[in-house]
Amino acid sequence: MEHRCSAAGPAALLPHRRFQADGETYVYAAETGGLFRADEDVRDALSALAASADAAVPPEVVSDLLRAGLLQRGGRPARPGRIAPPALALRTLVLMLTESCNLSCRYCYEACEAHGSPPAGAGGTAREMSAETFLRCVEFLLDASGESRSLSVVLFGGEPLLRFPLLRAAVPQAMAMTGERGREISFSLTTNGTLITDEIAEFLGRNGISVCVSIDGPPEVHDLNRPYGSGRGSYADVARGISRLMKYRNGRPLAARVTLGGGAADVGGTFEHLRELGFDEVGFAPASAAEGSPAALAEEELDRVMEGFRELASRYESDVRERRMPAFSNMTQILALIHRGEPMPYPCGAGIGMLAADPSGTFYPCHRLCGVGDALGDRERGIAVDVRNRFLDRARKRREPACEPCWAKNFCSGGCYHDAYLRQGDLFAPSTHYCRWIRELFLLGLQTYVRIQNETPTFLDGPVRRKGDCMKHLKPVNRKAKAIGKDSGDPPVVEAQGTIPFMHTCTSVFNPGYEIDWTGSTKQLCTPIETDLFGTTDMYCWWPGQAPDTYNNPDWNADCTRAMKDWMKLKVVKPEW
């Protein structure tokens, strides 16, 4: 006996994506985030229902489709009413140490906002953060982060190393302040690499400050994109800085962050060059630029970038197969997102688990929104709840109605706020100019995920388990699908992403950013912020630095007499994997 479905009747199809990999058919359910391998009955049912809402489908197939979130009883779900914004779960604070920079990059978003001039304070000069403001902001992070033990501070600018004297004085004080409260704090720094001396590199390594270098490829590309104000290229100075970072990094990985602008879309060549320089991880993001700007990637260049990403995805699979650590960090982020499978109501952690402080100590949702839109508060008065709620309400509504029918909506959730601001003059406009590209990128991630799961299942989260599955025609592949498949109760209720289980770095949606990971921290981000030693114990960070076993390395912790203060002295090994 078959069950007849109709739009006016009991059920209707929900957004999903079918695709082929390794000769099998798979289906990703947008509403639940579940990824399943589909049998012939499911394939036929999806095709029939897509052609006619009144198609006849076997009851057991209907049951599986409902449970997976591919079918909705009573037609399409109604749009939810107003949902209270998530509570502030602050774990990451970006500190804008200065608005000054010693380079004149052709795609700099700061210059875009100021019509080609460096951003300035009321006196017409670039502002800088004081040591007092630095420490007060860290104190605010400690006060506002609840029971979270592990916190992150991102050192940003401008070029933050222009303020090295501030870092040299304030970072040890901030670490001491944090330790006195029984908390842990990690520092991350993004730099253009031109100012790195032996003194700076030694300081960064000694204090365990993770470093990401902005570098766009070989000299002919990098010097075009990232020159000094005089027009002289900066590549040679960056290369010297990288060699110094390598000298003092103490076993910590080094990441490169590549900005892809118009005329520079050779992803494969850039990746190879940066790997040869010694970078452990390489991530790519497009230049933020207004529509029609020569700095923006043209449509045909986006196609070239996608071809390059496909080649790097294939290399990623080979690295996993051969037990090498993959370096293509965009794919790492995408695989982590697919693996967890949780719906994403917001594109990033801006205003949720992360805030940014401008040089005066005024808080904004993220570093790229400093001076753009309404401030959320300051270190003295705290966060204005009404302003933050208004921001998140508008952020959530930006997906309606353009994004709701899209099968990839939980991958980008409308895209980067700042990119929308530059392109459309509206923080809350969906970044529709990237829609086709984002869908292709997410599909590439799904295909890569399936092939890795089939060939090397332990790389992700163990093999797919068959025992206890409640579905006959759909076999779970990712973590979310397994949870759905083992639930013998009623099918999950689709609530159009009413909760926020995690946030992820916006690098995975091909937009630059410094957000938070699924735990609300930066501990597990690979691009552009590095993980520390204690963030390398699971699939979300591929760097092989691990605390070794005492049997083979009896003195690995000999220099670590106090865990809270001396953990950076732990010896690091790189085991066979």
H or E stretch at 476: strand 474-476
pTM of the model: 0.81
Pairing outcome for strands 474-476 and 377-378: unpaired
Give the end-to-end CA distance of the chain in Å, rounded to a whole number: 51
For residues 310 and 158, what is the distance between their CA atoms, to the nearest angstrom?
33
**Which residues are registered as beta bridge partners of 95?**
155, 357
- Residue 124, pLDDT score: 52
Give the separation between CA 58 and CA 1, rounded to whole angstroms. 7
| Token reading at 367 | 């570093």
Amino acid occupying residue 450: V
What pairing do the DSSP bridges indicate for beta strands 255-260 and 281-286? parallel
Closest CA to 289 of 505, 113, 515: 113
Structure tokens at 79: 């749009």
What are the pLDDT digits (tens) for 88-137? 999 999 999 999 999 999 888 655 444 333 444 444 566 999 999 999 99
Cα separation, 39 vs 52, in Å, equals 20
123-175 confidence digits (pLDDT tens): 456 699 999 999 999 999 999 998 888 899 999 999 999 999 999 999 999 99
Q: pLDDT at position 540, please?
A: 36
d(CA 551, CA 544): 19
Residues of the chain with pLDDT under 50: 6-8, 112-123, 462-468, 490-551, 564, 574-577
What is residue 473's predicted lDDT score, i.e. its pLDDT?
80
Asked if 269 contacts 217 with a C-beta cutoff of 8 angstroms, the reply is yes
**The dihedral sign for the CA sequence 527, 528, 530, 531:** negative
pLDDT value, residue 560: 63
pLDDT at site 483: 85
CB-based burial, 516-542: b 16+ in 10 Å, e otherwise: bbbbbbbbbbbbbbbbbbebbeeebbb
Tell me the residue ranges of DSSP E strands in 308-367: 354-357, 362-364
Q: What is the pLDDT of residue 133?
A: 97
Amino acid making up residue 137: C
Angle between helices 164-180 and 198-206 (to 10 degrees): 10
Q: Which of 237, 378, 419, 532 is catalytic?
A: 532
Reported residue count of the chain is: 577
223 counts as catalytic? no
Domains by residue range for the chain, with CATH: 3-78+464-493 (no CATH), 93-388 (3.20.20.70), 546-577 (no CATH)
- List strand residue ranges (DSSP E) for 345-469, in order: 354-357, 362-364, 377-378, 382-383
Q: Is 188 helix (H, G, I), strand (E, B) or coil?
A: strand
What's the pLDDT score for residue 514?
34
Residue 405 CA to residue 79 CA, distance in Å, equals 12
Q: Map 90-136 to HEC letters.
A: CCEEEEECECCCCECCCCCHHHHHCCCCCCCCCCCCCCECCHHHHHH
Which residues fall within 8 angstroms of residue 288, CB to CB, at 6 or more apart?
107, 109, 112, 368, 416, 418, 419, 422, 511, 512
DSSP state of 388: H
Q: What angle do CA 404, 406, 411 make, to 5 degrees?
A: 100
